[in-house]
Amino acid sequence: MSHEIPYIAAINEAIQLEMERDEDVLYFGQNIATTEDDPFLKAFGSDRVRVTPISETAEIGMAVGAALAGLRPVVELYMAEFMLVAMNQVVNEAPRFRYMSGGRVKVPLVLKAGYGFTAGWAGQHTGSIYSMFTGVPGLKVVLPSTAADAKGLMATAIRDDNPVCYFHHYLLTLEHGDVPDGEYLVPFGQAAVRREGGDVTIVATGFMVGKALAAAEALASEGISAEVIDPRTLVPLDLDTILTSVEKTGRLVLVDQATRYGSASAAIAADVAEHGFSSLKAPIKQVTALDATIPYSEPMEAFLLPDEAKISAAVHQVLGGSPVAA
Amino acid sequence: MTELGNDRLVWIYTQMLRIREFEERVKRTFEDHPGVIRGHTHLADGAEASIVGSVATLNPGDQILATYRCHGYPLALGTDANAMMAEIYGRTGGLCGGYGGSMHLVDPERGFLGTSGIVGQGIPHATGAAYAAQIRKQGQVVLSFFGDGSTKQGAFSESLNIASLWKLPIVYVMENNSYNVVTRSEQEDANAAAGEPLAIKATAFAMPGVTVDGADPIAVYDVVGAAVERARAGDGPTLVESKVYRLSAHGNLIAPPGVPLHYPEHEAITVFGNREEYEAALRGDPVPRFRARLIEDGVLSAEQADGIGSEVRIEMQAAVDFGLNSPLPAAERALDHVYA
């Protein structure tokens, strides 16, 4: 059985269910639970649900400490950029402790952060900064693109014994989707094939999954069959599903809202070039944001970002390009 | 003097001596066994009274988080000195299997939850552990140890604000040794420059701030003990400024491989040319000072004190031997423990 709810409600449903299931799960952060009407506060009380000051270093650092002491905190960070204020805690504390202790401690926590709010939020609240974290051993990085995944990946993140950066896309917030009822877990490291196809593989993340599917639909009317893969988690990354698809199609287009060298696509392109080169019939094509800070004004903002037309153009390019020497 | 029984006083002295001897052995390893210790070590000699006086106030189940200058606390909590020395030597028999080294000792079973090598960043970890303790309602208290330099970090201010706001069961023990690496406090701290005690920072967070002579374990016990009692009663945190003098340099020489590592002289001498300051600190050395006091008070005879010294030397020699004899880890173990 399933029910249709918005992406944001699916995230909250997962947190709620996990808090019911495990009393060690905490939920704290800025601007939550400020009145007695707050549903989390009502359900779980002020021990487990707390509003914090604007103190990201303390919020995330306290989550590390509470996790070391055996609890499972979920930190509400709102904007992914707010993690930058506390980068040391995210990168150099949370993921290091287990390793440095030789496995004697664990740090189960979830950093819930929205990203990619490219709707006029200008330069400092619109970034797609997940790749700042994918190169940090010990961290896991999750990018749900549907309401069902938003629920299932959050539940898995809370049960994971490692620090997890859970990046939800702001432009998906009110997107409705079918969400399984009750307990629902989406395993980490399992990509979703969102659309099957034989001519070209498109790998897209987050909000770009929808753009890629729309492009694939339009391409189908031209007789081009595109396979669309959503990795869902960047760490761990399901490279096998991508390589298997590239083996079938011989062509790869990567779509990523981040700038080229700060994207997940650059790393996936490198891995496919290293492990799947012999399958490729054309050079890999990356459709990423252009290298600039996101501007405020709409036409400039749109100019920088990947869209259906850019994805379709890239697909035409890999299909029309000269084959790579086998 | 607090009504500490003689056994407890002797225990405090013994732990102080164990820490001193352990640190002396770490220091000597650079000369006796060059190359065995890599990277950077930081010693607690001079802070023994502050460490043991603080730890002596705890109950089983209480917890400690500290900094990279972390050898003293686990020793006082009962962690095996052999495993600690082996960790500093990077061996399989080490407390953390050689993954952490001198700066990252951890012993959760004894309540030593961890350390951060980054100045001030362990303070929020301790605060989070105190949040966990508050929720569990089992009367646990957390001690957060850090240096005076940390108090200029946002992590300090953010944590003390939340701890006071939430009345968390935590005591913040600032070990003020007057130096942040080679910079003197009055060069980098507005309160110090104004001639104020650093404990005054507590007033900004609506919590008590107390300054204590960190060379006197009984004074530390009294002050930290009162703060622990307050925390345990649910009345919230306290900032304790414990004034200590670090008797070694900030750390061993920082040099690329190939240059033999050693401990330089204290920065008072090497940087500021103030040999008298350092010699005055040596005259006030808390370990012989406490020994003399216990003998004077009839708690210990000189012979008994010497006997404790002999036992401690045997224990720490054994720790060195254990560390040297413990094998280095297999290289491929480097990929273990990345994820739980």
Q: How far apart are CA A192 and CA A175, in angstroms?
A: 18
Cβ-in-10-Å burial (0-12, 13-18, 19+) of B136 comes to middle
**Does the pLDDT of residue A323 top 80, yes or no?**
no
Verify whether the Cβ–Cβ distance B162 to A55 is below 8 Å.
yes
Rounded to the nearest angstrom, the minimum Cα separation between B340 and chain A is 6
Verify whether the Cβ–Cβ distance A103 to B63 is below 8 Å.
no
Verify whether the Cβ–Cβ distance A53 to B108 is below 8 Å.
no
Candidates A250, A191, A243; CA nearest to A226 is: A250
Active site residue A169: no
Distance in Å from the first CA to the final CA of chain A: 48
Contacts of residue A65, defined as CB under 8 A and 6 or more positions apart, other chains included, come to B65, B113, B124, B125, B126, B127, B128, B129, B130, B131, B132
**Does the pLDDT of residue A71 top 50, yes or no?**
yes
Residues in A closer than 8 angstroms to B135, CB to CB, are 26, 47-48, 71
Residues in A closer than 8 angstroms to B130, CB to CB, are 65
Q: How far apart are CA B39 and CA B88, in angstroms?
A: 10
Q: Span A64-81, mean pLDDT? A: 98
Using CB atoms, which residue from A66, A105, A137 is nearest to B128?
A66
| Banded model confidence at residue B3, pLDDT cuts 50, 70, 90 | confident
pLDDT digits (tens, 9 = 90+) for B52-83: 999 999 999 999 999 999 999 999 999 999 99
Q: How far apart are CA A53 and CA B165, in angstroms?
A: 10
| Banded model confidence at residue A186, pLDDT cuts 50, 70, 90 | very high
Using CB atoms, which residue from B118, B159, B338 is nearest to A99?
B338
Handedness of CA A305, A306, A308, A312 (dihedral sign): positive
pLDDT of residue B180: 93
Residue A84 contacts B, CB cutoff 8 Å: no
Minimal Cα distance from A235: which residue of B?
B339
Most A CBs within 10 Å: which of B95, B125, B141, B150, as the mutation test of the A interface?
B125
Rounded to the nearest angstrom, the minimum Cα separation between A114 and chain B is 23
Q: How far apart are CA B316 and CA A224, in angstroms?
A: 74
Verify whether the Cβ–Cβ distance B114 to A108 is below 8 Å.
no
Verify whether the Cβ–Cβ distance A69 to B165 is below 8 Å.
no
Using CB atoms, which residue from A47, A50, A68 is nearest to B114?
A68
- Six-digit token pair at A78? 């709102």
Rounded to the nearest angstrom, the minimum Cα separation between A38 and chain B is 19
Verify whether the Cβ–Cβ distance A57 to B340 is below 8 Å.
no
Candidates A31, A33, A91, A26; CA nearest to A57 is: A91
% of chain A with per-residue pLDDT over 90 = 98
Report the relative pairing of strands B209-213 and A25-30 from DSSP bridges: unpaired
Q: How far apart are CA B101 and CA B90, in angstroms?
A: 6
Rg (CA), chain B: 19
The residue with tokens 């033999």 is: B260
DSSP A186: -
**Does the pLDDT of residue A324 top 90, yes or no?**
no
Domain positions in chain B: 6-248+259-321
Q: Span A251-277, mean pLDDT? A: 97
Using CB atoms, which residue from B130, B165, B337 is nearest to A98?
B337
The residue with tokens 């004004």 is: A297
ipTM: 0.96
> Do B153 and A55 touch, CB atoms closer than 8 A?
no
What is the side-by-side order of every strand in the sheet holding A140-142?
A49-52, A25-30, A72-79, A109-115, A163-169, A140-142, A233-235
pLDDT digits (tens, 9 = 90+) for B95-125: 999 999 999 999 999 999 999 999 999 999 9
- Bridge partners (DSSP) of residue A2 are A180
pLDDT of residue B2: 58
Q: How far apart are CA A189 and CA A129, in angstroms?
A: 20
CATH, domain range B6-248+259-321: 3.40.50.970
pLDDT of residue B1: 45
| Banded model confidence at residue B179, pLDDT cuts 50, 70, 90 | very high
Contacts of residue B272, defined as CB under 8 A and 6 or more positions apart, other chains included, come to B184
pLDDT of residue A322: 42
Handedness of CA B256, B121, B210, B230 (dihedral sign): negative
Minimal Cα distance from B131: which residue of A?
A66
Query: Under CATH, what is the fold of the domain A192-320?
Result: Rossmann fold (3.40.50)
**Does the pLDDT of residue A216 top 50, yes or no?**
yes
pLDDT of residue A325: 38
**Does the pLDDT of residue A321 top 80, yes or no?**
no
Using CB atoms, which residue from A101, A106, A137 is nearest to B99?
A101
CATH, domain range A2-180: 3.40.50.970
**Does the pLDDT of residue A148 top 60, yes or no?**
yes
**Does the pLDDT of residue B321 top 50, yes or no?**
yes
pLDDT digits (tens, 9 = 90+) for B198-216: 999 999 999 999 999 999 9
Query: Chain A, 11-30: which have a CB under 8 Å from a chain B CB?
Result: 26
Domain positions in chain A: 2-180, 192-320
Average pLDDT, whole number, for chain A?
97
Grouping H, G, I as helix, E, B as strand and the rest as coil, residue A169 is strand
Average pLDDT, whole number, for chain B?
97
Residues in B closer than 8 angstroms to A55, CB to CB, are 154, 158, 161-162
Verify whether the Cβ–Cβ distance A89 to B98 is below 8 Å.
no
Q: Span A190-204, mean pLDDT? A: 98
DSSP A256-304: EEEEGGGSHHHHHHHHHHHHSGGG-SS--EEEEE-SSPPPSSHHHHHHH
Q: How far apart are CA A241 and CA A245, in angstroms?
A: 6
pLDDT of residue A302: 98
**Does the pLDDT of residue A326 top 80, yes or no?**
no
CA A9-A15-A18 angle, 5° bins: 135
> Do B9 and B294 touch, CB atoms closer than 8 A?
yes
Q: How far apart are CA B143 and CA B148, in angstroms?
A: 16
Contacts of residue B123, defined as CB under 8 A and 6 or more positions apart, other chains included, come to A61, B144, B146, B150, B153, B155, B156, B159, B160, B172
Distance in Å from the first CA to the final CA of chain B: 48
- The reply to whether A192-320 shares the fold of A2-180 is yes
User: Phi and psi dihedrals of A229, rounded to 5?
Assistant: -115, 135
| Banded model confidence at residue B143, pLDDT cuts 50, 70, 90 | very high
pLDDT of residue B235: 98
Q: Span A105-134, mean pLDDT? A: 97
Most A CBs within 10 Å: which of B92, B113, B326, as the mutation test of the A interface?
B113
Contacts of residue B13, defined as CB under 8 A and 6 or more positions apart, other chains included, come to B290, B291, B294, B300, B305, B308
Contacts of residue B240, defined as CB under 8 A and 6 or more positions apart, other chains included, come to B171, B172, B173, B174, B199, B209, B210, B211, B212, B223, B224, B227
Residue B114 contacts A, CB cutoff 8 Å: yes
Verify whether the Cβ–Cβ distance B165 to A53 is below 8 Å.
yes
Q: How far apart are CA A120 and CA A295, in angstroms?
A: 8
Residue B338 contacts A, CB cutoff 8 Å: yes
Q: Span A254-273, mean pLDDT? A: 97
**Does the pLDDT of residue A14 top 90, yes or no?**
yes
